[in-house]
Amino acid sequence: RNKLDPREPLEVKASIPIIGHLLGMINNGLVYYDILSKKYPNLPAFTTSIFNFRTYTIASPSLIQAVQRNARLISFEPFLNVAAERMAGCSKHALEILREKRSGGQGGNQAVIHAMHSALFGQEQDKMIRSMIKGVEVWNDGLAHKAPIQIDMFEWCREAITVASSDAMWGPLNPFKSKYFRDAFWDFEAGIDRLILNFLPHIVARKAWKSRESGTKAFMKYYNANGPAQGSLLAQARWNTMHDMGISVEDVSRLEMGMAVGLLSNTIPATFWVLFDLYSRPELLEQIREEVNQNALQIADKSATIDLTCLRDQCPRLLAFFHESLRLRSLAAPTRFVYEDVVLDNKYLIKAGSMLNISTTAVYRNADSWGPGSSEFDATRFYASSSRKIGGFLGFGISPNLCPGRESATSMILSFVSAFILRFDLEPPSSSSGPLWAEPKLRFHSLSSPWFQPAEPFLVKVMRRKEYQDYEWHYRVPEDKGQFKLSVG
């Protein structure tokens, strides 16, 4: 074992020597570092070692900027290749192309991310948003026809968001149109933590491995039928970049299974929790209903239209609430690889060849950044803030690795939810003892979807609200290249 340099962050020892932290990681996933940071609340940063390998955890918002300033040396890039190899199962040839240039590859991962940012900008982004919103509209209409009805709220959000987002992304030949494909995809996604171990994956993660292989075949069919030609510019940009760099159809298909994880794994739990956090706070629900009603709903005869520009510009309470829901529900923790020795904030030596992560819950608990009620839900917390750059807000990542899908995902979620709350009342699961809208039993889902999710079906009764039950519902998505005032860290 390497001895720690006294300038490195203090080492936190596991109760079981040598493998204790490894067991903690296996049992708890990324949440393990949050558990440790709770145990040592006064440490702004700490070190854990598994055998000879170090992980540094940043638990204070003040150190995040130091990580950002050294983004070239503390980088996300190597994990993209880990995902391509272990999660997607790409060939050696593809991995060489994807690997970052400074490690001898051709920088394919960065080229793809760059192409994605360009394809999710301005008019291209508007088209994608229009298509996503059209997709979710159908689901609210379908629910209105069936109501009153009992649904599993998480499962229903998952189907609605999956179908709407994937149709917008891949177009009419989208493999997700098949329910069989969708179910197989979720089996793949649920087993990513085991696939990533890369130890006999066809045995250790059999279900996920088989589903990944069948999903890859479905995407190969999509590419062989020239699917991207009818899909979004995002799908075209990804295909063109990878194909032009010499990546085979099979490897592109494997990487597209990974892309689907990025497209869906945050958006679905975010939608579920936004609905939960609203309906479980009746007063807040009424305020937001009123705001949308007054500022973003246009009524003509029996037609009701939600206007996206008005949602963006004239519904600050809705947007502030959305940020707070993300803050307290998402556990997305930036994880980075350290290329060279760095001293953070003139204090902490971070050594090359180690991993660094940020403990989301520790950062969000910090009273200096978030005030004395930092752990409490406060729907107005972001309301007063005039700045869009909020140090310590990790909801959409930290620059330079900001989420390129944040505008399209927010547009879809908030349009969908705005119409939903005006159209429907929900009756929560009945419980003789506990409060109404008690949180469901939760489980940490997976490394690929860093959220708590319900561990059991979350059943609610959906009823149409009298006020708008005879209306036809529409959305207006103008071509104005507008943006939500989203905060980033």
Asked if residue 394 lies in contact with residue 332, where contact means CB atoms within 8 angstroms, the answer is yes
Residue that has been written with the tokens 């469901």 in this structure:
440
Q: How far is the CB of 330 from ligand HEM (least distance, A)?
A: 6
Nearer to ligand HEM, 216 or 330 (CB): 330
Write down the least CB distance from residue 169 to ligand HEM, Å.
Answer: 7
Cβ atoms 455, 442 nearer than 8 A: yes
Interacting positions 323-352 with ligand HEM (CB under 6 A): 326, 330, 332, 334-335
Does residue 111 touch ligand HEM according to CB under 6 A? no
Question: Is 403 near ligand HEM (CB under 6 A)?
Answer: yes
CB of 303 to ligand HEM, least distance (A): 29
Interacting residue with ligand HEM among 215, 404, 440, 454 (CB under 6 A): 404
Does 489 bind ligand HEM (CB under 6 A)? Our answer is no
CB 79 within 8 A of CB 40: no
Q: Is omega for the bond preceding 400 within 30 degrees of 0, making it cis?
A: yes
Cβ neighbours, 10 Å, residue 4: 15
| Nearer CB in complex with ligand HEM: 305/361 | 361
Count of beta carbons in the 10 Å neighbourhood of residue 232? 23
The answer to the question of residue 401 lying near ligand HEM (CB under 6 A) is: yes
Q: Which two tokens stand for residue 450?
A: 């860093």
Residues that bind ligand HEM (rule: CB under 6 A) add up to a total of 23
Cβ nearer to ligand HEM, comparing 201 with 269 = 269
By CB under 6 A, is residue 395 in contact with ligand HEM?
A: yes
Contact call for residues 128 and 234 (beta carbons, < 8 A): yes
**Judging by beta carbons within 10 Å of its beta carbon (0-12, 13-18, 19+), is residue 337 exposed, middle or buried?**
middle
Spatial contact of 115 and 107, defined as CB atoms under 8 Å apart: no
φ, ψ (nearest 5 deg) of residue 360? -60, -50
Between CA 395 and CA 423 the distance in angstroms is 28
User: Closest separation between CB of residue 374 and ligand HEM, Å?
Assistant: 19
H helices of 171-266, where? Answer: 179-190, 192-197, 201-204, 206-224, 233-244, 249-264
Considering the complex, what minimum distance in angstroms separates the CB of residue 148 from ligand HEM?
A: 29
- Helix then strand then coil, in percent of the chain rounded to 5, is 55, 15, 30
Reference 276, options 311, 328, 333; nearest CA is 328
Which range of residues in 149-157, 199-207, 404-412, 463-471 is near ligand HEM by CB under 6 A? 404-412
CB of 25 to ligand HEM, least distance (A): 17
Nearest-CB residue for ligand HEM = 405
Told to check if 390 binds ligand HEM by CB under 6 A, we report no
Token digits of residue 367? 């009273």
Q: How big is the CA angle at 37 (ends 33 and 38), to the nearest 5 degrees?
A: 120
Place of tokens 């088209």: 127
Whole-number Å distance between alpha carbons of 201 and 204: 5
405 near ligand HEM, judged by CB under 6 A? yes
- Token pair listed for 170: 């891949």
Nearer to ligand HEM, 233 or 315 (CB): 233
Only one of the segments 9-17, 236-244, 275-283, 394-402 lies at the binding site for ligand HEM (rule: CB under 6 A); that segment is: 394-402
Site for ligand HEM in 261-290 (CB under 6 A): 262-263, 266-267, 270
Q: Does 397 bind ligand HEM (CB under 6 A)?
A: yes
Q: Which stretch binds ligand HEM (CB under 6 A): 343-351, 359-367, 391-399, 473-481?
A: 391-399
**DSSP letter assigned to residue 174:** -
Cβ 433 to ligand HEM shortest distance, Å: 34
Tell me if 380 sits within 8 A of 78, measured CB to CB. no
Span of 208-216, 258-266, 417-425, 434-442 interacting with ligand HEM by CB under 6 A: 258-266
Answer yes or no whether residue 429 interacts with ligand HEM by CB under 6 A. no
Specify the stretch interacting with ligand HEM by CB under 6 A; choose among 34-42, 189-197, 362-370, 405-413.
Answer: 405-413
List the structure tokens of 288.
């937001």
- Is residue 403 marked as binding? yes
Minimum distance of ligand HEM from residue 132's CB (angstroms): 9
Q: Closest separation between CB of residue 222 and ligand HEM, Å? A: 17
The binding site for ligand HEM (CB under 6 A) comprises 76, 113, 116, 262-263, 266-267, 270, 326, 330, 332, 334-335, 395-397, 401, 403-406, 408-409
Binding-site annotation, residues for heme: 403
Binding-site annotation, residues: 403
